[in-house]
């Protein structure tokens, strides 16, 4: 089974690509915007986003354990987010793959404007200021991430499970126990080494 991490800024084509993979890979697609709109309408309360994402991570990881391919169509702007999800997947014996969709600013602005004008009920308004701020925050995946190797150690937590439960408060810290020790972080040299006990 594979967990796909769809990475990119708004307007990069993430959901379009996720829908393609959903069909070609028979995968469960989890897109927070769709859940936010269904639950909160056009309000998009920022304090609820992390809670929604946390429950989607929990759902997706459980689905992968049950033998279902999963797509996290979250954007995943930060390397730590991606490292945490890759690490959690590895503790469950599930493969992960980063799917990165780059986009330049002008094309992003054009797509975001067009999308809001044509399908405003499926998206949220995004200002130029917000787009610039988000671009400044975005950390593009490096070659190790794209190859699926080199998960770093978390800098201030014992496990990525602990980190993830703080990043997404609705996600229980349930992946950092002895289960996670079965899979040695594949790490540094870039090769996965599993300790089968």
pLDDT per 10-residue tile (average), the chain, 197 residues = 95 92 98 90 82 98 98 96 97 97 84 66 66 88 94 94 97 73 40 39
Give which of 100, 97, 103 is closest to 115, Cα–Cα.
Answer: 103
Residues in the chain: 197
| Side-by-side strand order, sheet with 2-7 | 27-30, 69-75, 2-7, 95-100
28 in helix, strand or coil?
strand
Architecture field, domain 2-189: 3-Layer(aba) Sandwich (3.40)
For residue 118, the model assigns a pLDDT of: 66
For residue 75, the model assigns a pLDDT of: 92
């Amino acid at each position: 089974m594979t967990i796909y991490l769809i990475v990119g800024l708004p307007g990069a084509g993430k959901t379009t690509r996720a829908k393609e993979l959903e069909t070609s890979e028979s995968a469960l697609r989890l897109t927070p915007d769709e859940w936010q709109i269904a639950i909160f309408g056009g309000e998009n309360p920022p304090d609820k986003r992390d809670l929604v994402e946390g429950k989607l991570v929990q759902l997706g990881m459980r689905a992968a354990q049950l033998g279902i391919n999963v797509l996290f169509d979250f954007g995943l702007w930060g390397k730590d987010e991606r490292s945490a999800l890759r690490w959690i997947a590895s503790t469950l014996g599930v493969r992960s793959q980063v799917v990165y969709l780059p986009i330049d600013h002008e094309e992003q602005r054009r797509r975001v404007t067009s999308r809001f004008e044509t399908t405003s009920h499926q998206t949220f308004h995004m200002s130029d200021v917000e787009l610039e701020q988000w671009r400044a925050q975005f950390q593009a995946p490096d070659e190790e991430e794209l190859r699926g190797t080199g998960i770093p150690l978390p800098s201030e937590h014992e496990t990525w499970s602990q980190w993830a439960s703080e990043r997404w408060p609705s996600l229980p810290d349930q992946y950092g126990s002895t289960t996670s020790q079965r899979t040695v972080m594949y790490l540094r040299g870039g090769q996965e080494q599993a300790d089968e006990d």
